[in-house]
Amino acid sequence: MSLRINKFFASKFPQWVLYKSIRLYSLTFRLEVQNEAAWLDAYLNDNKRIILCTHHQQFFAAIRYFQKYKAYKPGLMISQSKDGELISAVANRSGWTTVRGSSTRGGVEALKGMIDHLTEHRLAAHIIDGPRGPFGVVKPGAIRLAHEGETVIIPFYIHANHAWYARSWDRFLLPKPGSKVILRFGDEMNFPKTETSEAFEEQRSNLERVMGEKNRELQEECAQAV
């Protein structure tokens, strides 16, 4: 039965239906975007390389909005799992160029593919704790990407004043229809190349700390707005 299900979702029509369903569902909540202008100006006018980083929990609510970046051909690393196949198909329909791999499978090749993509197009996104967590723990890939070509990291966070949370390792967030959803971009973060493993770990833990703190701040704001 599982093989039949996998084959079903590997075909184009179910992928198209899922993509359209996500877009339609996204129309049911009210999205407010904050702090986008600064990093977009740095990308368009200062020719900076940008990596947009978020937690695995939160990417769903950004799918429809992020299609506005389609013309910039942004890159996105997706795991080689069966779930990743479906997510990759939806992402490709949304204007992303997906590179398959993760910290557990095909990571080296995928990282090289992401670096090549950043060299050419200067824009990518990265899920810092995927595909298996633990939640909020930054994997090394984000820092390694930031070391290439003076790439800067722009964290972003998403929360809703009314949402469902899955019983999964990341407590996946699904905004309820009619809820207010805030997509907030953080400040630019720079990570120069390091010469020691200790310095690398300091950068990784710093990104983890900052994203954890800012994520909790937004979550508390949205909870108070209920």
210-222 tens-digit pLDDT: 999 999 999 999 9
The whole-number average pLDDT for the span 147-155 is 91
Query: Total structural domains in the chain?
Result: 1
The whole-number average pLDDT for the span 148-176 is 94
Domain containing 152: what range?
A: 29-65+101-224
The reply to whether 19 falls in a domain is no
The whole-number average pLDDT for the span 60-88 is 83
Cβ atoms 174, 164 nearer than 8 A? yes
SS3 190: strand
The reply to whether 94 falls in a domain is no
State phi, psi for 113 to the nearest 5 degrees: -65, -40
Of the pLDDT bands very low, low, confident and very high (cuts 50, 70, 90), residue 97 is confident
As a whole number, the mean pLDDT across the chain is 88
Q: Is the pLDDT of residue 3 over 60?
A: no
Q: Is the pLDDT of residue 120 over 60?
A: yes
The reply to whether 208 falls in a domain is yes
The reply to whether 15 falls in a domain is no
CA dist 139 to 5, 15, 115, 179, Å? 31, 29, 16, 31
- Opening angle at CA 140, ends 134 and 142, nearest 5: 100
| Residue-wise pLDDT tens digits, 184-194 | 999 999 999 99
The reply to whether 11 falls in a domain is no
Of the pLDDT bands very low, low, confident and very high (cuts 50, 70, 90), residue 1 is very low
**224 vs 145, higher pLDDT:** 145
Q: In the prediction, which pLDDT does 78 show?
A: 79
The reply to whether 84 falls in a domain is no
The reply to whether 72 falls in a domain is no
Q: Is the pLDDT of residue 82 over 70?
A: no
Cβ atoms 67, 94 nearer than 8 A? yes
